[in-house]
Amino acid sequence: MAAPVFLAAVLALQLLHVARGEIKTTPIVSDSRPVILFEEFGFKPGGVAQVSVSGVSWSVPEGSPPQAVDPGLMGFILISNTLFFKITNESEYAEETDSSFCPLTSEYVMPLFRLKDIGRDGAGGGNVTIGDADQYTVLFSSCQDGVEITMDVRTEMYNMPGPGGDREYLPVGLLPLPGIFAASSVVYLAFLAVWVFVCIKQRATVERIHAVMGALLLFKALKLACAAEDAWYVGRTGTPHGWDVAFYVFGFFKGILLFTVIVLIGTGWSFLKPYLQVCTLRTCSACNNDQHMRGHACIHKDGGMDGECRSARRTC
């Protein structure tokens, strides 16, 4: 594989956020990329990375020079992020000396399995137990240019807190997330209680926009509560159990209310006039449409990109 391609893959990896430790199945269809990034995970010593594939097949595109496909030159590897620079040095040296470089043969990677080891039914897998705590990345590497691979890839990565303990599907750095989100939700509920108390005390001067502000605090608290429950379920089971859907719903309404409150206050609606001008109404409509499209983009990004993190749902 050409060295510049591997360098580009390493650069793309550095642009990714920390991925959540969900159990994930990713379909790969007629993909000829030499390196495919799947998941990044923060392991403790004793953590386990499992990768399995099914429906594996490969082909050479029509019009390409005929070649014999060697499944031994395609496989999955696990790389510690602290060793990426050493692999990059190997790649650069291969480029300078006009020699070939294949990550599968590097001494700095942890091999999971190669496609030559799978069964005749196109299914197989492998796992690795982590010895040193670090951030690790699962990659598929093909050292044959132009070969298109099709398969379903299931990745499962978790830490073991101790003998007989439950699996932890959240990376080490994200373990505090459920508690942080839950505490933040309680804080916003406290703000909401204070806001309701003040509005009741000052009911003579309360406007409808003050009710909208209270609704904004409520949806923000509900969004954080769903984020906490989502992170907790992912950490225990590897799947969100539908809490991510509630997170998106409350996040959508929170975004709509936030834009509305900002625009209304900025135009002096609650103090100077009980109506909006045409240009302000258009601004509100544009902001609401923007929030709607952003929500759809987050959903598609969350479920449709190989190796991409799900940090979009964490922009609370």
Q: Which of 136-145, 214-223, 276-285 has the lowest mean pLDDT?
A: 276-285
Indicate whether 14 and 145 sit together in one domain: yes
Residue 304 pLDDT: 43
Q: How many domains does the chain divide into?
A: 2
Same domain, 191 and 218: yes
Same domain for 126 and 206?
no
Instruction: State phi, psi for 148 to the nearest 5 degrees.
Output: -95, 130
In a domain, 166, yes or no: no
Note the pLDDT tens digit of each residue in 30-49: 888 888 998 889 998 988 99
Do residue 105 and residue 203 come from a single domain? no
Task: Kindly tell me if the per-residue pLDDT of 13 is higher than 60.
Answer: no
Q: Please tell me whether residues 18 and 71 are part of one structural domain.
A: yes
Nearest to 136 by CA among 89, 172, 92: 172
Summarize the confidence of residues 5-18 as an average pLDDT. Answer: 43
- Identify whether residues 25 and 137 lie together within a single domain: yes
Asked if residue 207 belongs to a domain, the reply is yes
CATH number at residue 145: 2.60.120.380
Question: Count of CB atoms within 10 A of residue 182's CB?
Answer: 17
For 102-140, what is each residue's pLDDT tens digit?
Answer: 888 888 899 999 999 888 888 999 999 998 888 999 999
86 is in which domain, residue-wise?
Answer: 3-158
| Same-domain status, 223 and 141 | no
User: Is 167 a member of any domain?
Assistant: no
- Give the pLDDT of residue 202: 87
Residue 165, in any domain of the structure: no
**214/285 same-domain check:** yes
164 in any annotated domain: no
